[in-house]
Each structure stands twice: as structure tokens, then as C-alpha cells.
Amino acid sequence: MTQTDAADLTARLIRCPSVTPQEGGALVLLEQELSAAGFHCMRADRGGISNLFARWGDKAHPRSFGFNGHTDVVPLGDEAAWTMPPFGAEVKDGVMYGRGATDMKSGVAAFVAAAIDHVRDTPPDGAIVIAITGDEEADAIDGTTALLDHMARAGEQMSVCIVGEPTCPEKMGEMIKIGRRGSMSAWFTVTGVQGHSAYPHRARNPLPAMARLMDRLASHVLDKGTAHFDPSTLAVVTIDTGNPATNVIPAECRGTVNIRFNDSHSGASLTGWLQSEVDAVATEFGVTIDMKVKVSGESFLTPPGALSDLVSDAVEAETGLRPVLSTTGGTSDARFIKDHCPVVEFGLVGQTMHQVDERVEVAQIHQLKRIYARMLGAYFG
């Protein structure tokens, strides 16, 4: 039987201009491919975001292997700096160029192609679920969460799930993700009393208070790392006053920090710590400090075991490398799936994602498809 060409599918997806939140034709294309292979497809659109749910097999079956990914891509940046058409999927010297080539239309194409071939060649005793969102690169409010909400309403289930994000730093097969750090940001507004810089006693300067607060936060050691996570980090990302005058003490100053935290913390515990620091500095300087916090995701871990072994075995069989089990990097939609079922991430080398001239080696797309096919074979075999 003719095999599904993952590289060709990647090229067709790249030619869909699906910059968040535009669907761009990518999910329509995938729905056509999956429906033709016997998958039951349903759109789970929400909030102006397009999402696709597809299942082959009985949803009541106790064994269901899931894949998750996204077809939305980040903006092009300086389009004039691209040396190849950003939505052209042109191949030069065995390398395919285009926005989304690495992150992550090639990953989606590889697992869709592997799933289609698997159900055609060796129909499994179980179900295969494919959940693809158009809202991973933005706020992710109406993306994978909408798909999971749809699954809950429809009685759909994944026993395990693979997220096809790029996970390898330099070599294909060197790393899989078994968890992710949590992420949160905090915005602070320090309010004092404006005045003349020659008469500072008549003002209440918010800048020293902000400087003290930022120093206290940035110099605090959150932890020294845990069994599977590096130490948590806090970065001061901006301090702003917008004051062009040298003879005016401003009334207000704003600052922002971003925290990436491991499993020794939660968003709630860190929010409590931040508030205690805010209260201490506000009292010390006699200013008002307002704080706003957004937790983008909690830290999570899929403990090493059957799922990570299945993925590692497939990767090693195809690449010769035993992948490192890692929790490094930013956030991904695995942070939502971990509440549904065990989840592990594996995908391509991610060196050019979000860059101008984003690109992928065509040979790696085919290799990734073979790795996903091995996972399916091992799981259902």
C-alpha cells in the first residue's frame, strides 16, 4: 500500500499561512487527509480559534494513543530578511524552508502520516486520537484546552499522549521532555508622590522602592533544584517610569518579573512569597505597591516509566541515541494534557524555530515519522 509522504504533507501545511489566530487552511487540509483514512473528525473551534479532533477506532476502547500538536505559527518578523519564501516550502540542498517548518508543522505531518499508515496497514486493537490546535503560539486559552473540554463532553479519552514539539537541542533523538517548569509573570506598580527633585522631602519617590523590591526578588534563591528539575529562576524583565525630566520625581514606577519554577513550588506559593516582599517594601518606603500575577502553567512531571521507556526505545531504535529525559525549556500544551493523561514530548531539532529562514532537514521529517510509527507499533503490539 502507498505510504503517506510526511515531507509532502509538511510542505502543504507550510503553504497554509496559519499565523495565529488564522487557520490558513491547515486544519482543513488535515481533516481531509484524516477523514480519507477513516478517522472520525470534528472541529472544536472556540473563541475564534480553530481546533481539530480526530479519532480512529472505538472511543470506548480502554487503550487510546494520542498525539497533540499545533498548526499555528508565529509572525514572520522582517519578511525582507527571509532568503526563501516564508510560505513557499521550497527545498534547497535537502532542507525545507518556511514558517512552521520546525515549530511544528513537520511534527504534525510526521505523526499524522504515521497514524494514517498504521491504521491502514495494521489496524490496531484500540483507538488513535489526534488533537491539533490553532492557538499554541498565542495565549492558548481556546486551543488545547478547548479540545480537552470537547473530549470531556463527548466522553473521549487518551490513555497516553505524545506532544510533537521540537525537543532536541542539536541532534535528532538526543532529548525527550517528561515535564516542564511552571511559568508566571508578575507586574508591579509602585505609587508615591510626585515632586521637585530639588525638594525630595516634599515628594515620595517610588524609584528607590522599586529598586529595593527588584533587588530583593532577583537576589533571592528560590531553590537549588529537585530530582528532575533545574533550580527555579526569576528574571527582572523591565522597569519603567516614562519620565523624561531630570528635575521631577515621578509619582509612579512599573516593573515586571518572570519566574520559571520547578516542582518545589506552585503558582499560589510563589504569589504568596511575592506579596510578602511587596508588603515589606511598601511599609519600608511608605509607598503603595499594586501587584498583578498571571500563572501561565504549573510545573509538572510524568515520572520515568512505561511511557518514557516506550518513547526512548523508539527513538534509540531509529537514531542510535538513548534520549536524555529532560524538563528544560519553556512551556508547551503538555501543561494542559498532564491533567488528562500521562504525556511525553518528542520532536525535531529546534534550532531554527521562530527564526527568519526557519527550516528543517527533509530527511529528519521522514525519520521522525518512522519514530512515531515505532511508538504506535510498540504500544499496540
Catalytic residues: 72, 136
Report the 10 Å Cβ neighbour count for 241: 16
Q: Give the Cα separation of 18 and 255 in Å (integer).
A: 34
Q: Is 51 within 8 Å of 133 (Cβ atoms)? A: yes
Q: Is 169 helix (H, G, I), strand (E, B) or coil?
A: coil
Q: Is the dihedral of CA 239, 261, 165, 70 positive or negative?
A: negative
Alpha helices in 45-159 (DSSP H): 105-121, 144-154
Helices 362-380/306-319 angle, 10° precision? 140
Q: Is 19 within 8 Å of 77 (Cβ atoms)? A: no
C-alpha cell at 248: 521631577
Amino acid at 276: S
Q: Is the dihedral of CA 213, 217, 218, 221 positive or negative?
A: positive
According to the 3-state scheme, what is the secondary structure of 253-317?
EEEEEEEEECCCCCHHHHHHHHHHHHHHHHHHHCCEEEEEEEEEECCEECCCCHHHHHHHHHHHH
Q: Is 294 helix (H, G, I), strand (E, B) or coil?
A: strand
Q: Give the Cα separation of 192 and 189 in Å (integer).
A: 10
Q: Give the Cα separation of 334 and 300 in Å (integer).
A: 9
Vertex 363: Cα angle to 360 and 368 (nearest 5):
85
